[in-house]
Amino acid sequence: MATISITLPIYNEAATISTLYERLNGAAEQISHEMEFVFVDDGSTDATYTKLAELSANDPRIKIVRLSRNFGHQAACTAGLRNSDGDAVVLMDGDLQDPPEVIPELVEAWERGYRVVLARRKSRYEEGLRGWAMSAFYKAFEWLSDVPLPHEVGIFSLMDKTAAQEVAALPERHRYIPGLRWWVGFNVGEVWYDRERRFAGAPKQTLRRLIRYALDAIFGYSYKPLRLAMILGLIVSTASFAYGTILLLLRILGINVVAGFTTQAVAILFLGGLNLTFIGILGEYIARTYDEVKHRPLYVVSEIVKGGNRTVDAR
Ligand code: UDP
Ligand code: MG
């Protein structure tokens, strides 16, 4: 019999844990494989860890990977993947926005032979600006990146053991798991679902973090910003060369042109702005290169709890 791991990053979700566990159990009952639940406690400061520890004392299927501080969603997901032992790993958010009821469908698609199964959102519940920003991101990503990623797909997915370990093993620090998952390949299936409202509390990924995540996705999978900068630079230089030629001709022909202040001021400000923007774009790539060459690990594990027992045998 195969084993399925369900792997969830958790950060300050104490109010959600018991319902989450109930609904995960409900899903597990419909699956005829052994189950493993891997909860990654991403440095929670509320009762999350205590609640998880209580559950794990009575349920040997539970493994808690406790990180030494808050490392962020993508690092927590990676820690979860590395510490999952299943033949297939289901990765999902722990705030119940990804409904556990979809898991049996993912597993079924895997049984039919797909090695990666994406859960795609038919609809989403997101408050105000957040929802708008998320759809805007998917559009921008599609236009900017060279990666044919499907719309409205996040981390919620099933990966077989090999795919999951390959994704987890990719060394980059600025991680965009949907992109990494695309990169490792394999035959990919899809299951559609309605993304739910958060069960309790406010989103733990602040808008600022989401923006950083979006920039990681764009700069991590595309050189188009650089290319666009270069093209715009070429257009501007061609235009100024043409303008210069015209001025020179007028001068030679003796036509008296006194250039006004406006033209100069506009030209200087425009080119200055363009330069700063492009240096900024360069900076985004350089900062990322610097972060990558530091080769710091993505996270630090403080302990692993399995069946109520503590170990430090982390990966
Ligand atoms: N999360 C995490 N570390 C963080 C932020 C979030 O492990 O630093 C978890 C969070 O508990 C939740 C999941 O990642 O289970 C998704 O987070 P959230 O709902 O805040 O993000 P969104 O749904 O807006 O992408
Ligand atoms: Mg959420």
Measured in Å, residue 195 CA sits from the centre of ligand 2 at 10
Mean pLDDT of the chain: 87
Can you count the helices (H) and strands (E) in the chain? 10, 9
Same structural domain for residues 300 and 288? no
Measured in Å, residue 206 CA sits from the centre of ligand 1 at 9
Same structural domain for residues 61 and 202? yes
Residues 111-124: tens digit of each pLDDT? 999 999 999 988 77
Ligand 1 near 203 CB (within 6 A): yes
Same structural domain for residues 90 and 127? yes
Ligand showing the shortest atom-to-Cα distance for residue 93: 1
For the chain, how many structural domains are there in total? 2
Same structural domain for residues 72 and 182? yes
Ligand 1 near 42 CB (within 6 A): yes
pLDDT at residue number 314: 65
Residues 260-305: tens digit of each pLDDT? 767 787 778 788 878 888 888 888 888 888 888 888 899 999 999 9
pLDDT at residue number 247: 81
Q: Helix, strand, coil shares of the chain as percentages rounded to 5?
A: 50, 20, 30
The CATH number linked to 47 is 3.90.550.10
Q: How many CB atoms lie within 10 A of CB 204?
A: 20
Same structural domain for residues 171 and 290? no
Same structural domain for residues 258 and 118? no
Q: Locate the ligand 1 atom nearest the alpha carbon of residue 203 and give its number.
A: 20
Mutational test site, ligand 1, from 95, 132, 209, 213, max ligand atoms within 8 Å of CB: 95
Same structural domain for residues 101 and 152? yes
Measured in Å, residue 199 CA sits from the centre of ligand 2 at 9
Residue 126: HSE in the Cβ half-sphere, 13 Å Cα cutoff: 18
Amino acid at 82: R
Residue numbers of the domain that contains 116: 3-221+296-311
Ligand 1 near 299 CB (within 6 A): no
SS3 at position 302: strand
Same structural domain for residues 9 and 40? yes
